[in-house]
């Protein structure tokens, strides 16, 4: 005896998969009901089923409106019922969002980021003052500390001054010896050990292993 199985790959694709095949089948059956009053009652029942399947939907604004919209969408916009809300329009729902414009300005040093490049350009436009000098020292300190933390590299004042010159489009010519760079203290990294169970453990005490050995 041959047993036939229905696989999801053989069925029609669901319009909104989050509600499952059962809700889609309910909507398909709803489309076959000719009596309008009965069709309206069943439509309200299906909406309630959708709420029961996803109770958290109640936390959304106008959640009932969205559920009725989904009901219409599940019917491929063909369902004729007395919805308490305006019917969704296919051309509006299927409309693709506008493309997000990206800045076409190239970043000289990607590891510093675009913001630092803009800061150098702003510093170049500032009038000579104590504030400008402090701002440049802040930029230099940020560059040094970022390189230490992320690239494990210690930048020299000469390199920092050269990078600031490039980032400012040759407007900031700085004497490396005049830079007042504040280097932040590094936080000691705790050793990580992988146990047999695959769990990573941070040991707070560097003598932890020695203590364990003494207990054996």
Can you tell me which residue has the tokens 């309200």? 44
Q: Are residues 120 and 81 in the same domain?
A: no
Residue 117 lies in a domain: yes
Long-range pairs, 207-211, Cβ under 8 A, ≥24: none
Q: Are residues 106 and 202 in the same domain?
A: yes
Residue 1 lies in a domain: no
Which residue, of 62, 93, 124, is where some domain finishes?
A: 93
- pLDDT at position 29 is 94
**Number of domains the chain contains:** 2
Q: What's the Cα-to-Cα distance from 2 to each of 5, 6, 10, rounded to whole Å?
A: 10, 13, 18
Q: Is the pTM of this model over 0.75?
A: no
In whole angstroms, what is the distance from residue 117 CA to residue 179 CA?
A: 18
- pLDDT at position 206 is 46
Residue 214 lies in a domain: no
Which residue, of 93, 125, 141, is where some domain finishes?
A: 93
What's the domain range around 20? 12-93
pLDDT tens per residue across all 216 residues of the chain: 445 565 555 667 677 888 888 899 999 999 999 999 999 999 999 999 999 988 898 888 899 999 999 999 999 999 999 999 999 988 888 788 777 766 555 667 777 878 888 899 999 999 999 999 999 999 999 999 888 887 778 889 999 999 999 989 899 999 999 999 888 876 555 554 544 444 444 444 444 444 444 454
Which residue, of 49, 67, 93, is where some domain finishes?
A: 93
């Amino acid at each position: 005896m041959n047993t036939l199985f229905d696989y999801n790959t053989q069925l029609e694709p669901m319009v909104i998969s989050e509600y499952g095949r059962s809700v889609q089948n309910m909507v398909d059956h709803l489309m076959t009901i000719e009596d309008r009053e009965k069709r309206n009652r069943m439509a309200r029942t299906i909406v309630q089923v959708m709420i029961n399947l996803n109770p958290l939907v109640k936390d959304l604004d106008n959640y009932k409106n969205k559920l009725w919209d989904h009901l219409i969408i599940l019917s491929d916009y063909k369902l004729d019922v007395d919805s308490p809300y305006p019917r969704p329009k296919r051309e509006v729902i299927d409309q693709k969002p506008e493309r997000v414009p990206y800045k076409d300005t190239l970043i000289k040093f990607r590891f510093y980021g675009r913001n630092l490049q803009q800061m150098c350009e702003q510093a170049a436009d500032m009038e000579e003052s104590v504030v400008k000098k402090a701002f440049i020292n802040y930029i230099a300190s940020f560059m040094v500390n970022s390189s230490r933390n992320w690239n494990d590299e210690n930048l020299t004042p000469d390199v920092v001054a050269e990078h600031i010159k490039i980032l400012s489009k040759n407007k900031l010519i700085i004497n490396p010896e005049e830079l007042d760079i504040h280097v932040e203290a590094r936080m000691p990294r705790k050793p990580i050990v992988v146990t047999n169970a695959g769990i990573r453990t941070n040991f707070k005490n560097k003598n932890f292993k020695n203590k364990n050995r003494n207990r054996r």
